[in-house]
Amino acid sequence: GAVVSQHPSWVICKSGTSVKIECRSLDFQATTMFWYRQFPKQSLMLMATSNEGSKATYEQGVEKDKFLINHASLTLSTLTVTSAHPEDSSFYICSAKESYNEQFFGPGTRLTVL
């Protein structure tokens, strides 16, 4: 099946710093990528949807200036958490899809903000 990778898998940062998370589709061209946030014992919450070359569409309640998403190529999307604070600590998961196909999920990135 299609493979999606995320980097880093785990990051710890100080409060006030910015953190960038990469999501790559390794063996297919991802026309659309999705970013989710998952809290312990809770569901995946969709944060935003990005189409290659276009601005991301954010879900209600997600701060665009806080969570910057770039989908500059068909194989790479990045999520930058700007001025991170402890409440941003979470598990961030990306997924990617090609055309009218299912979403393939990355393994996730655990962010801890001290």
Burial class (CB in 10 A: 0-12, 13-18, 19+), 106: buried
Answer whether the bond into residue 107 is a cis peptide, omega within 30°.
no
Q: Which of 9, 17, 29, 112 binds another protein (CB under 8 A)?
A: 9
Closest approach of Cβ 77 to another protein, in Å? 14
Residues 22-41 that bind another protein (CB under 8 A): 32, 41
CB of 95 to another protein, least distance (A): 8
Q: Which of 17, 102, 112, 114 binds another protein (CB under 8 A)?
A: 102
* Neighbour tally for 61: CB within 10 Å: 7
